[in-house]
């Protein structure tokens, strides 16, 4: 039997609590507020106020989306379901029909893939009006690049622009950093998304970055259902956590949650380096090239690792991987790469 089967109910409840932990740190809060400004301003402005948000995997885009959606849940009314905000994902190798189908499906159309792209667009516009949609969150924008066909990318971009124009509903486009190149191929779509933000990983390079990361850890610790202080924000744990997670919020939370599960299973009252060392072995981040477990060596040894030295030689915030800075690709190079 696994250790989970041996845990008491209160211990299982604490583990369930851990899985729900979420900290909205300042940069996330600012982005949520900015999305809210686009949402509310569009009710009174002549043109919808749209926003383009990019960020590497694991930096918190998905959690940000969920936080905003929770503020505006669907409301069942007498003759309709009012959907103030809805979220859809652009499918891989996207076409106009694929994007239209995804949006229709998210709004509850019973046969989202039925009809031509023209009739799909008409049904979608009708549903958006009928459901009282005020904001669309369209995720995975980088999937347009999967087509490798610039004509298809242009057609889908034009279709998205037309949807915004016809419905007057603002849209938040969300994607990986490389999706920024797509806007460069569509000047009219680019004009719609003048508000642009990139959500970067945490940084340790500057004092301000260290303060932000350690404050984040302190806020996470406040939510842990443990009896004693773990002092996650102290440098002895904070720095290995930063290195092991590559500065991405998702990786940080994965390690903390796993370490906390180990602590509860072991009957310990706080987290220590031993819990994190086991968590790192259990949940090690794909692509790590560290010579040793970051939680089993001292800080000065970590600083001598070549991949750590390389990170501090190059600007942070461009990726959630430790690797040399790469040449920025042009829009044409991104859309036509093999």
pLDDT, one tens digit per residue, over 247-298 is 999 999 999 999 999 999 999 999 999 999 999 998 765 556 788 999 999 9
Class at the top of the CATH hierarchy for domain 45-199: alpha beta
Cα–Cα distance measured from residue 137 to residue 159, given in angstroms and rounded to the nearest whole number: 16
Residue 75, strand partner residues: 82
Q: Where in the chain is the domain with CATH 3.40.50.300?
A: 45-199
Q: Supply 61's token pair.
A: 């885009």
- Range list of β-strands (E), 176-216: 195-199
> CA of 230: how far to CAs of 139, 170, 219, 276, 329, in Å?
36, 44, 12, 11, 44
Question: What DSSP element (H or E) covers 75?
Answer: strand 75-76
The burial of 252, by beta-carbon neighbours within 10 Å (0-12 exposed, 13-18 middle, 19 or more buried), is given as buried
Cα–Cα distance measured from residue 113 to residue 99, given in angstroms and rounded to the nearest whole number: 10
- 134 close to 85: Cβ distance less than 8 angstroms: yes
Cα–Cα distance measured from residue 87 to residue 136, given in angstroms and rounded to the nearest whole number: 6
CB-based contacts of 2, cutoff 8 Å, min separation 6: none
The burial of 105, by beta-carbon neighbours within 10 Å (0-12 exposed, 13-18 middle, 19 or more buried), is given as middle
Cα–Cα distance measured from residue 36 to residue 202, given in angstroms and rounded to the nearest whole number: 24
pLDDT at res. 309? 85
pLDDT tens per residue across all 338 residues of the chain:
356 567 888 999 999 999 999 999 999 999 999 999 999 999 999 999 999 999 999 999 999 999 999 999 999 999 999 999 999 999 998 899 999 999 999 999 999 999 999 999 999 999 999 999 999 999 999 998 775 567 788 899 999 999 999 999 999 999 999 998 888 888 888 999 999 999 999 999 888 899 999 999 999 999 999 999 999 999 999 999 999 999 999 999 999 999 999 999 999 999 999 999 999 998 765 556 788 999 999 999 999 998 888 777 654 333 333 333 344 445 455 445 44
pLDDT at res. 317? 39
pLDDT (tens digit per residue) in 69-91? 999 999 999 999 999 999 999 99
CB-based contacts of 268, cutoff 8 Å, min separation 6: 275
Record the pTM.
0.84
Strand pairing of 75-76 and 81-82?
antiparallel
């Amino acid at each position: 039997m696994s250790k989970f089967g041996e845990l008491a109910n209160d211990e299982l409840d604490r583990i369930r609590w851990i899985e729900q932990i979420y900290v909205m740190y300042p940069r996330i809060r600012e982005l949520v507020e900015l999305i809210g400004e686009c949402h509310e301003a569009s009710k009174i402005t002549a043109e919808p106020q749209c926003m383009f948000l990019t960020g590497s995997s694991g930096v918190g885009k998905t959690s940000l989306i969920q936080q905003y959606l929770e503020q505006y849940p669907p409301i069942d009314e007498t003759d309709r379901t009012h959907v103030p905000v809805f979220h859809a994902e652009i499918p891989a190798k996207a076409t106009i029909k694929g994007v239209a189908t995804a949006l229709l499906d998210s709004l509850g159309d019973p046969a989202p893939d039925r009809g031509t792209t023209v009739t799909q667009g008409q049904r979608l516009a009708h549903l958006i009006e009928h459901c009282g949609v005020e904001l669309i969150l369209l995720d995975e924008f980088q999937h347009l690049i999967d087509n490798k066909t610039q004509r298809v990318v242009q057609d889908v971009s034009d279709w998205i622009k037309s949807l915004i124009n016809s419905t007057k509903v603002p849209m938040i486009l969300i994607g990986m950093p490389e999706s920024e190149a797509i806007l460069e191929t569509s000047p009219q779509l680019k004009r719609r998304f003048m508000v642009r933000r990139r959500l970067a990983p945490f940084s340790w390079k500057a004092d301000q970055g260290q303060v932000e990361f350690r404050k984040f850890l302190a806020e996470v610790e406040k939510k842990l259902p443990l009896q004693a202080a773990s002092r996650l924000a102290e440098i002895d744990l904070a720095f290995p956590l930063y290195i092991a997670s590559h500065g991405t919020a998702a990786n940080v939370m994965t390690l903390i949650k796993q370490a906390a599960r180990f602590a509860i299973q072991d009957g310990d009252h706080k987290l220590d380096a031993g819990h994190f060392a086991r968590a790192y072995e259990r949940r090690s981040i794909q692509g790590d090239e560290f010579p040793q477990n970051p939680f089993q060596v001292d800080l000065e040894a970590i600083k001598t690792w070549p991949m750590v030295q390389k990170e501090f030689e190059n600007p942070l915030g461009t990726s959630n991987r430790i690797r040399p800075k790469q040449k920025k690709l042009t829009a044409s190079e991104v859309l036509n790469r093999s």
